[in-house]
Amino acid sequence: MGFVVRPSLLVPFSPLCQPVGKGRNLEYHRPMPVLTPSSRRIEPALLSVYVVIAAITVLGLVVFLEPGRPLRWAGLALLAAFDLLVLLPDRALGGFKVRAPHLYVALATTLTSALIVLPPANPWFAVLFFVLSPEVMLRFPRQTGYAWVGVFAAVTVILFWVMSGGLLGILATALIYIAGYFFFAAFATQTALADAAQAESRRLLQELQEAHTRLQAYAAQAEALAVAEERNRLAREMHDTLGHRLTVVAVQLEAITRLAATDPERAASMAAAAREEIRTALTELRQTVAALRAPLEADLPLEPALRRLAAEFETATGLAVTLNLPPDLPDLPATHRLALYRAAQEGLTNVQKHAAATHVWLTLAVSTDRVSLSVADDGRGPRPNATGGGFGLHGLRERAEYLGGSVDLRPRPQGGAELVMTLPLPPEVDHA
């Protein structure tokens, strides 16, 4: 597919011409686009075409309208035919210039040659080849265009030889015209190349502006998603830390209220445990606030953390906790350790708040490709409408899904409920 040049615009024009370049790279050996008189904005090359044709037409009219001029009507007809053929837009000629470009140029060459040799001979009509030289360079591939310019040069030499017998004068005059042909051809080629490069620059600039706009939109979207994700993360952290501690303290205060009169020593012990829980809650709150200022690398030793959590739970609630840990725990990523620890916290908090249990089993199990943590109790079991869970369970599910795992709250076959978080082990985890 070739191109027709509108001012600074390339559009398909002919199957005989190939595109200028592939993709975004201009290739100067490819055929050039066609410059047509139908362009809305008159380019310098097009203006020069109009000027040359107008000047030759005026001179031709002066010559052919002289009194006693032989073959005046033939000359006027040839001149009118050339002007109409070259100046009329292709659509007015039924697509003739596009469908048969070589025939079109050959016909224009024939009309020019006839005007030159029409008696009495008028060699200056060879200036019309100045018009055809740039057009063939823009209409055809470069090699073909220069071949046509060579035809114009050969026709000029032959016609001048026929009209005059002096070889030296013929060559001198012909060389002047031929130099003009090649000058106009080269000028048109460079003009079209510059126009194509300018159009390509505008296209690339427009693409760059569009890409910049899209990038700004993507950046704003990414920022909004990052803010939402950070808010969710902080909500989970606040629930899993402060929520757990405050729940334990609330249960302890209720027990202290009941035991204050009957068992002051037990009440004092529980009050000390409550104070410790509050101190721990304050420490975790400071850590959460610090996380707002600078992200910290989580470094949670999971096994001792679970042992401490189970011991604190037993002290605070009086419930027996059976802890089952694997003998060889692999080196889990920080994200996995934190998620499993939060699952243990949430499970124990739910047992304390809802289960009315007497015993809790906290189990961590590792297989070849996954790790799971379960919190089971012998209480009343989950309510029928509670399997979806509240905010804490929803936060656990978000953590697990982010890591490719799952969370399940289900009835325990022996009675009670069981909360299970299962996470896949990353490939880099050492199972030894």
DSSP 80-116: HHHHHHHHS-GGGGTTHHHH-HHHHHHHHHHHHHHHH
Establish if 221 belongs to a structural domain.
no
**Would strands 417-424 and 370-377 be described as parallel, antiparallel, or unpaired?**
antiparallel
**CB atoms closer than 10 angstroms to residue 308:** 11
Pick the more confident residue, 96 or 239.
96
How many CA atoms lie within 13 Å of 410's alpha carbon, on the beta-carbon side? 9
Co-location of 209 and 306 in the same domain: no
pTM score over 0.85: no
What's the confidence (pLDDT) of residue 45? 59
Q: What is the pLDDT of residues 245-264, one digit of tens each?
A: 777 777 878 888 888 778 88
Co-location of 170 and 38 in the same domain: yes
Three-state DSSP class for 366?
strand
Residues of the chain above pLDDT 70, percent: 76
Establish if 53 belongs to a structural domain.
yes
Q: What is the pLDDT of residues 311-321, one digit of tens each?
A: 888 887 888 99
Number of structural domains in the chain? 2
Are the beta carbons of 43 and 35 closer than 8 angstroms? yes
Establish if 279 belongs to a structural domain.
no
Co-location of 26 and 146 in the same domain: yes
Pick the more confident residue, 195 or 358.
358
Are the beta carbons of 122 and 78 closer than 8 angstroms? no
Q: Which of residues 190, 213, 236 is at a domain's end?
A: 213
Pick the more confident residue, 91 or 282.
91
Asked if pLDDT for residue 96 goes beyond 60, the answer is yes
Asked if pLDDT for residue 385 goes beyond 70, the answer is no
What's the confidence (pLDDT) of residue 166? 59
Establish if 106 belongs to a structural domain.
yes
Asked if pLDDT for residue 200 goes beyond 60, the answer is yes
Which of 37-41, 90-94, 147-151, 181-185 is predicted least confidently? Answer: 37-41
Asked if pLDDT for residue 21 goes beyond 50, the answer is no
Are the beta carbons of 170 and 162 closer than 8 angstroms? no
Q: How far apart are CA 8 and CA 14, in angstroms?
A: 18
**Cα–Cα separations (whole angstroms), residue 53 to 38, 47, 65, 79, 87:** 16, 10, 18, 10, 9
Pick the more confident residue, 142 or 220.
142
Establish if 319 belongs to a structural domain.
yes
Which range of residues forms the domain containing residue 363? 302-432
Q: How many helices (H) and strands (E) does the chain have?
A: 12, 8
Q: What is the pLDDT of residues 106-141, one digit of tens each?
A: 898 898 888 888 877 778 788 888 888 888 888 888
Co-location of 427 and 321 in the same domain: yes
Q: How far apart are CA 424 and CA 357, in angstroms?
A: 30
Co-location of 67 and 191 in the same domain: yes
Task: Give mean pLDDT, residues 19-30.
Answer: 39
What's the confidence (pLDDT) of residue 81? 86
Establish if 249 belongs to a structural domain.
no
Task: Give mean pLDDT, residues 388-398.
Answer: 76
Are the beta carbons of 162 and 117 closer than 8 angstroms? yes
**Cα–Cα separations (whole angstroms), residue 245 to 143, 237, 250, 256, 429:** 86, 12, 9, 16, 32
Asked if pLDDT for residue 61 goes beyond 90, the answer is no
What's the confidence (pLDDT) of residue 315? 82
**Predicted confidence band at 36 (pLDDT cuts at 50, 70, 90)?**
very low
Q: Which of 228, 237, 222 is nearest to 291 (CA)?
A: 237
Q: Which of 26, 23, 33, 27 is nearest to 2 (CA)?
A: 33
Are the beta carbons of 431 and 425 closer than 8 angstroms? yes
What's the confidence (pLDDT) of residue 254? 81
The partner residues of 423 in beta bridges, in order of sequence, read 371
Co-location of 307 and 163 in the same domain: no
Residue 12 CB contacts under 8 Å (≥ 6 apart), including other chains: 1, 2, 3, 4
**Predicted confidence band at 230 (pLDDT cuts at 50, 70, 90)?**
low
Asked if pLDDT for residue 393 goes beyond 80, the answer is yes
Co-location of 133 and 13 in the same domain: yes
Q: Which of residues 213, 239, 273 is at a domain's end?
A: 213
Q: What is the pLDDT of residues 152-194, one digit of tens each?
A: 888 888 888 777 755 655 666 777 788 878 887 887 777 777 7
Co-location of 355 and 207 in the same domain: no
Residues of the chain above pLDDT 90, percent: 11
Q: Which of residues 213, 229, 256 is at a domain's end?
A: 213
Q: What is the overall mean pLDDT for the chain?
A: 76
Q: Which of 285, 293, 287, 271 is nearest to 242 (CA)?
A: 285
Establish if 243 belongs to a structural domain.
no
CB environment 184-213: b (16+ within 10 A), e (fewer): bbebbbebbbebbeebbeeeeeeeeeeeee
Co-location of 184 and 307 in the same domain: no
Establish if 246 belongs to a structural domain.
no
